[in-house]
């Protein structure tokens, strides 16, 4: 039964969020997922999928009447363009197996003449990706194969959000279960998603999409984070609701042998958001963004010296280890 809010009530009385993204559907997640192990820790491997150049004003809001133009690169000299890493992360859980955080760019993005690239990125994505530097072997699926991991071995993908530079390669993992915050799914599959940084073509219908409810009654607080969800029920991988950049953005807390690490996603573009109070040019919800930044900053204070990896900070990226255990 189709409702006016775009949801379908199935025969079991469970709401399915129906997408017009190639027939992709999502159902509510029932956490924890199978595979948890008491006391489990994970290994964390950062994966660089591509590099773009962008105006610094997009990531660090400029002042004055020309700020908007600077944010989108109009009249910006080369010296004010910065390298921007496009990233994903591989988590290896002792019993749940390989888990991805985001997917980076699909390999087709490396070929500028490819019609598949144009379709994958969408109109807005193509505009922002004009300066992409990528080799086919940088795709997540290619990097996993180099590590001896087949894409079909990836059972779970955790999406910080579904923007075009994070969800581009979902089609490479058709057998995966994809966790995404419920408000994010609604935003990415609603009306005119391209106006908000999404590419409908990237939401491949083959993976199993599960939406996580971060309402107060459905989640628990953890440290400074008001709403979290334990993916495997063993504390090794938790989603922290950090909206603002998008309406359903999440960050990911992982437990290593030596302590915790935090993957902020685009809740924090660069470390200067935390150290110097700079803010990006735009976000979907300013008030929610500020609340999320405060929670992330509190986590950083509580975990001095622990790995905190921002979304698009090349200087921070270049200082990362190859693998964290």
Lowest mean pLDDT across 66-70, 133-137, 268-272, 310-314: 66-70
pTM: 0.92
Q: Which residues pair with 86 in a beta bridge?
A: 50
Give me the mean pLDDT over the 198-205 stretch.
97
- Confidence band of 18 (pLDDT split at 50, 70, 90): very low
Half-sphere exposure of 216 (CA within 13 A, CB side): 0
User: What domains are defined for the chain?
Assistant: 7-25+40-318 (3.60.15.10)
244-282 pLDDT per residue, tens: 999 999 999 999 999 999 999 999 999 999 999 999 999
Task: Write phi, then psi, for 158 (nearest 5 degrees).
Answer: -105, 120
Q: Is the pLDDT of residue 154 over 50?
A: yes
Residue matched to tokens 């994070």: 166
> What is the model's pLDDT at position 80?
79
Q: What is the DSSP letter of 67?
A: H
Cβ atoms of 219 and 213 within 8 Å: the answer is: yes
4 contacts: CB under 8 Å, gap ≥ 6: none
82-111 pLDDT per residue, tens: 999 999 999 999 999 999 999 999 999 999
> What is the model's pLDDT at position 68?
82
Percent share of the chain, pLDDT over 90: 82
Give the chain's end-to-end CA distance (angstroms, integer).
Answer: 47
Task: Enter the tokens of residue 70.
Answer: 């600077």
Q: Is the pLDDT of residue 5 over 60?
A: no
Output the CA–CA distances (angstroms, integers) from residue 269 to 60, 62, 317, in the order listed.
9, 15, 11
Q: What is the enclosing helix (H) or strand (E) of 156?
A: strand 156-158
> What is the model's pLDDT at position 73?
83
Pairing state between β 250-256 and 97-101 = unpaired
Task: Write phi, then psi, for 184 (nearest 5 degrees).
Answer: -70, -45
> What is the model's pLDDT at position 300?
98
């Amino acid at each position: 039964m189709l409702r006016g809010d775009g949801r379908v009530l199935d025969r079991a009385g469970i709401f399915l969020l129906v997408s017009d993204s190639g027939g992709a559907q999502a159902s509510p997640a029932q956490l924890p997922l199978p595979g948890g192990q008491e006391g489990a820790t994970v290994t964390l491997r950062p994966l660089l999928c591509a590099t773009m150049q962008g105006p610094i004003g997009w990531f660090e809001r400029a002042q004055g009447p020309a700020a908007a133009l600077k944010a989108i690169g109009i009249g910006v000299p080369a010296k004010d363009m910065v390298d921007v890493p496009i990233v994903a992360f591989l988590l290896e859980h002792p019993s749940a197996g390989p888990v991805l955080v985001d997917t980076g760019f699909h390999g087709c993005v490396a070929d500028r003449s490819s019609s598949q690239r144009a379709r994958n990125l969408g109109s807005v994505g193509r505009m922002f990706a004009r300066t992409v530097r990528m080799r086919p072997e940088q795709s997540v699926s290619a990097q996993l194969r180099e590590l001896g991991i087949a894409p079909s071995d990836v059972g779970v993908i955790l999406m910080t959000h579904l923007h075009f530079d994070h969800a581009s390669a979902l089609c490479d993992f058709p057998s995966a279960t994809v966790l995404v915050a419920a408000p994010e799914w609604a935003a990415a599959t609603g009306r005119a998603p391209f106006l908000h940084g999404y590419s409908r073509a990237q939401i491949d219908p083959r993976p199993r999409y599960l939406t996580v409810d971060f309402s107060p009654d459905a989640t628990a607080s953890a440290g400074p984070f008001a709403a979290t969800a334990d993916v495997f029920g063993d504390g090794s991988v938790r989603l922290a609701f950090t909206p603002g950049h998008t309406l359903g953005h999440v960050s990911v807390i992982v437990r290593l042998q030596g302590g915790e690490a935090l993957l902020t996603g685009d809740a924090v573009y660069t470390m200067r958001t935390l150290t110097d109070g700079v803010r990006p040019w735009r976000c979907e919800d300013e008030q929610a963004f500020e609340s999320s930044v405060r929670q992330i900053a509190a986590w950083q204070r509580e975990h001095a010296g622990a790995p905190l990896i921002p979304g698009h900070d090349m200087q921070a990226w270049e200082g990362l280890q190859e693998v964290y255990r």
